[in-house]
Structures are given as structure tokens and as C-alpha cells.
Amino acid sequence: MGAFHSNPAEQTYRDLAEKTGFSVEQIWILHNRFKQLSHDEEMLRRDDFKAIPDLACNPIRSQIIEAFFDQRNFQTNSDGTAHEIGFEEFLTVMSYFRPPSLNMTQEEKEDLRRAKLRFLFNMHDTDNDGTITLEEYRHVVEELLSRSGAIGQETAKGITDAAMLEVASTSVGHMGPDDVYEGITFEHFLKILKGIEIESRMHIRFLNMDTTVLCK
């Protein structure tokens, strides 16, 4: 590995490792994958993602791709969408899927949980108004059911309404007949997903070995 990198590159890797928490080997592997996807260019575009054949049968493909270009996930306090991303942004988005490390304090675990849930929230809240409205939620459910054939709009609507009702009931409790529940805020989102242990479920195993040659 030493022959491959010149010193400046290694330095960048180390900076990135410190910033995102990956190990240097993992960053090297991910960089290889980045170069593979972008055909050795500096920046990655949406079309490059769309060209991944395994991703074609994923029902929420477009939302995943959008998440990579969503500037809210770049940890730079900006929002909007980018047209193309560099390796650092790619790595930053990937870092949301790191498993929790062995010795984390309760506080760190809570922060990790919030960060991951924030990522999920951003994926649903496409217009960036801080709430997931009924329309946005309905879009999520429709996407999930999109690969399963024609089931009719009504059922998706029904499921969304039921889910929304549940959130409203658990979060707000009592509402008068004229109150309107605007949408799921981030705090409500945290509450309804309390049952799923996000910090241990939302992760993938980043290998220290390069297996990208085996996959397309």
C-alpha cells in the first residue's frame, strides 16, 4: 500500500479518517470504488449512480441517490442540492452508515443516533421545511410499494393516513376538531422510531479488504 500513495495523498486520507471516523484502509477502498463509479473523474454525478446495475431494482433508488447530493448531509450547514460531489462528500455521506464503535459513552451513542435519524429525516423531508408532510410521507410509501405491482393509490393513501394518525396520536395526543397537524417534526420522528435501535441497525460493514473487483 505504501508504494501506491504519495505522501500528500496519505495525508489527505489521514485527515479524512479523522473527520469521518473511517480507517485509512477503508478510505482507500472507498476511493477506489469512487474512481470506479466516476470513471476516474474527480466528481461524481447522478448519472454515474444510475449506471450501477444492482441499484436498478431498488424501489427507493431515486431517494438514495438524492441523499448523496443533498447538501444537508455534507455537515457543512448548507442546504440545497449539488449537481456533482467530490470524494469528501461521498465519504461524509457514507460515514452515516458506520457501525457504533466499541467503547462509546451513552452520550456519544445518543449523538450517533440523532445523526443517523437526521439523515433519514432529510431523506423524507424533500422540501426542507423541517417537517414531513402528509404528501411527502405518502410519496415514501408509494415508492416503497412501487416495485410490488399495481396495488392502487387508495391503499397507499390509507397506509399513509394511518401512519400519520399514529404519529399525531402519540406525539400530540389531544387535538381539537379544528387543529391541523402540520407534519412530522424531527422530534416526533425521533419519538416514533424509538422502538428501532437505529444506531445498531443502520450500518453496513465496511471491509478492510478490497472486494470491489468482484462487483460491478
Partner 1 sequence: MTSRAMTLAGLFLLLLTPGTGGSQVPGTDGAGDHGGPHGLDGHGANATNKAFPVLSFDYKHVQMPFEISLWVLLASLMKLGFHLIPRLSSIVPESCLLIVVGLLVGGLIRVVGEDPPILGSQLFFLCLLPPIILDAGYFLPIRPFTENVGTILMFAVVGTLWNAFFVGGLLYGVCQLEGTHLGRVDLMACLLFGSIISAVDPVAVLAVFEEIHINELLHILVFGESLLNDAVTVVLYHLFEEFAAAGGVTIKDVFLGIVCFLVVALGGILVGAIYGVLAAFTSRFTSHTRVIEPLFVFLYSYMAYLSAEVFHLSGIMALIACGAVMRPYVEANISHKSHTTIKYFLKMWSSVSETLIFIFLGVSTVAGQHHWNWTFVICTVILCLVARVLGVVGLTFMINKFRIVKLTTKDQFIIAYGGLRGAIAFSLGYLLDKVHFPMRDMFLTAIITVIFFTVFVQGMTIRPLVDLLAVKKKQETKRSINEEIHTQFLDHLLTGIEDICGHYGHHHWKDKLNRFNKKYVKKCLIAGERSKEPQLIAFYHKMEMKQAIELVESGGGVKIPSAMPSTVSMQNIQPKKPTERALPQLSKSREEEIRKILRTNLQKTRQRLRSYNRHTLVADPYEDGWNDMFLKRRRVMELGKKLNNYLTVPAPAPDSPTMARARLASDPQAWSIKPKSDSIPTIQVDLASPQSPDSVNMVDEFNKPSKPTEAEEEEGLMMKAPSSSADQKERKRDKEDGVEQQRLARCLSDPGPTPLLIPWPAKHLVDWWDPRDVA
Q: Cα(5)–Cα(3) distance, rounded to whole angstroms?
A: 6
Residues 9-28 that bind partner 1 (CB under 8 A): none
Nearest CA to 26 out of 214, 213, 206, 212 is that of 206
Size of the site for partner 1 (CB under 8 A): 74
Residues 136-155 that bind partner 1 (CB under 8 A): 140-141, 144-145, 148-149, 151-155
Nearest CA to 119 out of 167, 71, 154, 159 is that of 71
Q: Nearer Cβ to partner 1, position 41 or 179? A: 179
Q: Choose which of 16, 30, 85, 91 interacts with partner 1 (CB under 8 A).
A: 30
Told to check if 2 binds partner 1 by CB under 8 A, we report: no
Q: Choose which of 12, 75, 185, 212 interacts with partner 1 (CB under 8 A).
A: 212
Q: Choose which of 73, 94, 95, 113 interacts with partner 1 (CB under 8 A).
A: 94
Min. distance of Cβ 69 from partner 1 in angstroms?
13
Min. distance of Cβ 8 from partner 1 in angstroms?
25
Residues 46-85 that bind partner 1 (CB under 8 A): 49, 52, 54-55, 57-61, 64
Q: Cα(99)–Cα(31) distance, rounded to whole angstroms?
A: 19
Told to check if 134 binds partner 1 by CB under 8 A, we report: yes
Told to check if 214 binds partner 1 by CB under 8 A, we report: yes
* Region from 2-10, 17-25, 73-81, 197-205 binding partner 1, contact rule CB under 8 A: 197-205
Q: Choose which of 12, 36, 75, 185 interacts with partner 1 (CB under 8 A).
A: 36
